Structure 1
Amino acid sequence: MNPAPSPLRRLSEAPRLYVQEGFVSDEEVRHVLASYGDREALSRRGLAWTTNETGLSSELPVRQDAVLAAIAARIEATLGFSCALSEPSFRFRRYTRGDAHPPHLDEYKIGEARLVATALVYLTDAESGGETSFPRAEPHPVAVSARLGRLAFWFNHRPDGSVDEAALHQSKTLHEGDKATIAYFVYAPVEAARVTVAVADEAPLGRAHPSRRFVCVTDGAPEATTRVLAEACAARGVSYEEVHAAHFDFTTVEPLSPGTLLFRPSVSLSAIRVEQALWGPGVVTFHREPDGVFRDIGPDYAVLERRGISVPRWIWGNTTNRALLRRYVEDLGGLPIVMKFAGGSGGVGVLRIDSLAGLFSTMDHALASGRMPVLSAYVPDATHFRCVVVGDRVAGYWRNRRDEDDFRTHASDDPADYTTPPAPEILASAVAATAAMDVELGGVDVLEHPSGRHYVLEVNFPCYFARARLVGGQDVGGAMIEWLVQKAERMAGD
């Protein structure tokens, strides 16, 4: 027997968007998928279907199926008005990997009835991607994940009857898993948009859940980073606070209370010291060890190689001895080689060495400056992926681009570079590499050679992840908050 459905939650002011967990039972889901879940089942019932980049779809008459009729009746009861069509139907849709649905408004009219509200019932869990996204939602964009048994519904019209442009929505690309839904389009006189949906103990949107607090230590972190985190917190009822390292008073500091979520997106030493001052027993971070905020992360190649993770051939640049440097170049497969200095970001500190003369002079300068770089093999013609790992999965990814006159790559502003996930082996290596560094968040850079071999370059912690959300629509910030909340709950139960 399924537990009772959870209370309705309102996710946005505009559109009026609500979700409820456990709306349909496991038995109802099994019935719908067995009866309509694939082409063969639809054909056996004499139902027409289509398949394209938006998945497999078909119209399911409500009155011919007692289970569908019962689900429709519960939706109408939740909304507070009924569908005015004489022959209402559900639209079944099943997505496979790579399928998506473009942005659109549900703005339609049949006779005198308007499509006042749309209800979507999720029949499966999607492992990655497939969110129903509302990019114009207010006070912030909202993405509803595909979760088995969940109901999401929204009003396409404002109470005054006008079309709500904030109801623009799309299905994001499904990256992993299965997504199946039934959509109920509730046509009614436009006056039905005036109804008030009953939500038990509804709090004003954006008010914090009293038991969840997220503290963000920043010292010049990109505005996009803090904005994405703040929006993710607001969407999940978690309070968001910023601590600015430059204005922090160490004379009055006290450790945060147990259960507080703590994250530092900035890499400065000042931000690190503030994070360490705020940490206390029970404070939840992305470190696997309780005192991880006091530990150094790296060096990457040495740690990853010892864990059996594929990395380019490498060696420490520890000498100016020319004979030894020649031997290093031979061991790395010949010129060109890559020289990397720790501490840079955005490709700063990564050099391509094309000649022995360049190697000798650069090593002279490096060691005279007290720096010891890593020398590594150059991997030609490779595709560079950034995988953002959250917990035990890759929550976001994109393909980096290279300018014509540079060997280094950079993040892309083309949404197409965020649609096709890297190979499963690369995703697995990214997760393993992040775990090897004893953290639960990492921006993992991976090179994929045309031969199919791949090499992990580094695990960036903290990392820049906002681009995945802003360009690719991947809700990495949401995944981060959810992971920390779940970790807090696990720690409280220990």
Structure 2
Amino acid sequence: MTLGASALARGARIGPERAARGGDRGEEGGGERPSTRVDGADARAPRDRAIEFDRIERVSWRPHAEVYRGFLTREECDHLKALATPSLGRSTVVDASNGGSVPSDIRTSSGMFLLRGEDDVVASIERRIASWTHVPESHGEGFQVLRYEFGQEYRPHFDYFQDEFNQKREKGGQRVATVLMYLTDVEEGGETIFPDAEAGANPGGGDDASSCAAGKLAVKPRKGDALFFRSLHHNGTSDAMSSHAGCPVVKGVKFSATKWMHVAPIEDSATASVRFEPGVCKDVNAACEGWASSGECTKNPSFMVGRGRANGNCMRSCGACPPGTRDE
């Protein structure tokens, strides 16, 4: 079933959740409200948008998946696009041997990573995700922003790791869930599909579905909407029905931002923003030399050498430390 603009009219959904409001897609989010954030949010939190539960639509029980209509404002979407666009490069996948990134034929988009808490807008969105999903901010990776142009896609895959290296405790352990935020409308194609999902009450792609999405559980990208799905069952075992894909873009350009969340806090600062004391510049991860030697300084510069107000995690190994700074 394709859950686009006409989904509610067709009754194409599973579960008892209330219907999302039509028309208003949350550009202003109903104004400023007190936050329903998790514990640990900082003093800026009163400006955060509250979670509006009547915007959340359950789309599947197996796998667990739901769409939040208007989760981001249009301004937030444009801000994430603007942050990412200058640094976009060929998308990669996680290397199972060393945690780095490698190109893959199953993913043909362009992408880059933002740091956790990179600026106030990013931090506010991260707090909102934690409030919605009940997964603490400390368990989340930084956003990966992706751009898909004509014909580009991400073939079926799992977000949970199938190797031991990336499940180390300091890396947060296994990925438990994903939030995928759509930063643009897509005129045709670009749907997120779950090809192995349990059939719902009203399967079928609908008139606006691309050939890739026809007959499958599918979510059509709409600017500001966000898709949340779990990769693990509640008992911690992997959910084979969480296999998903990004259909080829047929018409338009698709921008998205992904937040991967783990079962435990990420302790190695892998995607957190870093701020050094004056005169200090150093590596903050024992793997920095290996990452630098594999080309991560240029492939993932925001994490490795920093951007904006944040220092990088591997500035010493990348040769990006200013002269006269100390490594301590």
TM-score normalised per structure 1 = 0.35
Q: Does residue 1:177 correspond to 2:203, yes or no?
A: no
Match of 2:89 among 17, 25, 49: 49
Aligned-partner Cα distance in 1 for 2:141–2:247 = 27
Paired residue for 2:10? none
User: C-alpha distance in 2, partners of 1:132/1:179?
Assistant: 11
Residues 300-351 of structure 1, C-alpha deviations (whole Å, 9 max, x = no match): xxxxxxxxxxxxxxxxxxxxxxxxxxxxxxxxxxxxxxxxxxxxxxxxxxxx
Instruction: Determine the structure 2 residue equivalent to 1:144.
Output: 219
CA distance in 2, matches of 1:173, 1:26: 24
1:132 aligns with 2:192: yes
Distance 1:35 1:49 in 2: 13
1:122 touches 1:146 (CA, 8 Å); kept in 2? yes
Matched position secondary structure for 1:138: coil
- 1:23–1:151 Cα contact (<8 Å) kept: yes
- Once the two structures are superposed, residues 364-395 of structure 1 have per-residue CA deviations (whole angstroms, 9 ceiling, x without a partner) of xxxxxxxxxxxxxxxxxxxxxxxxxxxxxxxx
Counterpart amino acid of residue 50 in structure 1: R
Aligned to 1:157: 232
Preserved CA contact (<8 Å) 2:126 2:137:
no
1:60 positional shift:
0.9
Query: What are the Cα deviations for residues 109-152 of structure 1, in whole angstroms up to 9, with x where unaligned?
Result: 44232100000000000100000000111134410001000010
Q: Which amino acid aligns with 1:57?
A: G
How many residue pairs are counted as aligned between the two chains?
181
Offset of 1:50 from its aligned partner? Answer: 2.2
Q: Tell me the residue number matched to 1:30.
A: 78
Q: Distance in 2 between matches of 1:167 and 1:135?
A: 9
**Structure 2 partner of 1:62:** 116
Question: Structure 1: 5+ residue runs without aligned partners?
Answer: 43-47, 191-494
Confirm whether residue 2 of structure 1 aligns to residue 31 of structure 2. Answer: no
Partner of 1:102: 155
Q: Secondary structure at the match of 1:161?
A: coil
By how many angstroms is 1:3 displaced?
3.9
Q: Quote the Cα distance in structure 2 between the aligned partners of 1:3 and 1:84.
A: 25
Instruction: Tell me the residue number matched to 1:374.
Output: none
CA RMSD of aligned residues (A): 2.1
Asked if the contact 2:127–2:137 (Cα under 8 Å) also holds between the matched residues in 1, the reply is no
Q: Is the 8 A contact 2:117 2:126 kept in 1?
A: no
Q: Contact 1:119/1:184 (CA < 8 Å) preserved in 2? A: yes
Q: What CA deviation, in whole Å up to 9, does each residue of 1:214-255 have, x standing for no partner?
A: xxxxxxxxxxxxxxxxxxxxxxxxxxxxxxxxxxxxxxxxxx
Whether the 8 Å CA contact 1:84–1:188 is kept in 2: the answer is: no
**Deviation for aligned residue 1:166:** 0.4
In the alignment, is the contact (CA less than 8 A) between 1:55 and 1:99 conserved in 2?
A: yes
> What letter is aligned with 1:49?
G
SS at match of 1:61: coil
- Say if 1:83 and 1:188, in contact at 8 Å, map to a contact too: no
Matches within 5 A, 1:274-313: none
User: How many angstroms apart in 1 are the aligned matches of 2:234 and 2:199?
Assistant: 18
The CA distance in 2 between the partners of 1:137 and 1:72, in whole Å, is 28
Equivalence map 1:170-319=2 (5 Å)? 170-189=245-264
Summarize the alignment of residues 297-446 of structure 1 with structure 2, pairs less than 5 Å apart: none
Deviations 1:398-443 (A, max 9, x none): xxxxxxxxxxxxxxxxxxxxxxxxxxxxxxxxxxxxxxxxxxxxxx
- Local SS of the residue matching 2:155: strand
Which has the larger share of strand? 1
* 1:72 paired residue among 126, 140, 153: 126
8 Å Cα contact 1:13-1:139 kept in structure 2:
no
| Alpha-carbon distance change, 134 to 62 in structure 1, aligned in 2, over 3 angstroms | same
Computing the radius of gyration from Cα coordinates, the structure with the larger value is 1
CA–CA distance in 2 between the matches of 1:3 and 1:79? 18
**Stretches of structure 2 lacking an aligned partner (at least 5 in a row):** 1-26, 31-51, 92-104, 201-215, 266-328
Check the 8 A contact 1:83/1:187 in 2, yes or no: no
Give the TM-score taking structure 2 as reference length. Answer: 0.52
Residue type at the aligned position of 2:81: L
Aligned residue for 2:268? none
**Which amino acid in structure 2 is aligned with residue 183 of structure 1?**
T
| AA in 2 matched with 1:111 | K
Aligned twin of 1:111: 168
Give how far 1:157 is off.
0.4
2:100 equivalent in structure 1: none
Shift of 1:83: 4.3
Measured in 2, the distance between the counterparts of 1:61 and 1:183 equals 12
2:142 equivalent to 1:89:
yes
Distance (whole Å) between structure 2 residues aligned to residue 189 and residue 162 of structure 1: 15
- Alignment-derived partner of residue 13 in structure 2: none
What residue in structure 2 maps to residue 166 of structure 1? 241
CA offset at residue 78 of structure 1? 0.6
Find the aligned partners of 1:160 and 1:20 in 2 and give their Cα distance: 25
Residue identity matched to 1:2: E
In 2: Cα distance, 1:123 partner to 1:95 partner: 11
**Distance (whole Å) between structure 1 residues aligned to residue 167 and residue 183 of structure 2:** 28
Contact in 1 for aligned 2:55/2:70 (Cα 8 Å): no
Q: Report the equivalent of 2:212.
A: none
C-alpha deviation, 1:84, in angstroms: 3.9
Supply the distance in 2 between the matched residues of 1:129 and 1:28 (Cα, whole angstroms): 23
SS at match of 1:89: coil
Would the alpha carbon gap of residues 83 and 115 (structure 1) be closer, same or farther in structure 2, given more than 3 Å must change?
Answer: farther
Q: In 1, are the aligned partners of 2:90 and 2:108 still within 8 Å (CA)?
A: no
Please give the per-residue CA displacement for 1:142-165, whole angstroms capped at 9, x wherever unaligned.
Answer: 100010000101000011111000
